[in-house]
Amino acid sequence: MASSSNQNDFEKIMECITVAEVERIHTLSNSLEKTMLDPVALKLFRGFLESKCLTCIQCLDIHEKCAQFLAEKHPLYDSSELNILSNLGLLSHLKQRLAYRLDDGDPTSISLCLKNIKLQCRNEIEDYFFDFKASVSKKVGRVPK
């Protein structure tokens, strides 16, 4: 469980954003993927996770890094990806899978492994996303139209 100061940080972020931003984020909060692609919504979601679940922050960081690796055009995968993800807290069984794929050297297999890691991280934070959505909905409900 996270500290109350992290909860206060989330509340401060919520208070600082405009009514229009809250409503826009509320619309995005119907989809975890859309929320994670929007910089302002992602910052708010990160603040929310910091107030609830610090291990989820690791999952969010790993998810973002995998997305970054997968977005590269003509990637040349090597052990640096494994090292970066390991430093972010990648679980040992996922490290082993990625290491095996890196040793094999097949870019398609490595990409599929990164997508799988990304999906597993997304699944870890998805339960908290529903709480985030409820918090944003509550904020929208308090905001005068």
DSSP string of 33-87? HHHHHSHHHHHHHHHHHHHH-HHHHHHHHHHHHHHHHHHSSS----HHHHHHHHH
For the chain, give every domain's residue range: 4-142
Question: What integer is the mean pLDDT of 1-24?
Answer: 69
Distance of CA 131 to the CA centre of its chain: 15
Residues 93-106: pLDDT tens digits?
999 999 999 999 89
What CATH homologous superfamily does 4-142 map to? Answer: Regulator of G-protein Signalling 4, domain 2 (1.10.167.10)
Per-residue confidence (pLDDT) for residue 144, from 0 to 100:
41
- Give the range among 2-11, 54-63, 84-93, 94-103 with minimum mean pLDDT: 2-11
Kindly state the tokens that stand for 69: 């690796």
Residue 38 or 14, more confident: 38
Residue spans of alpha helices (H) in 72-91:
79-87
Q: What is the mean pLDDT of the chain?
A: 85
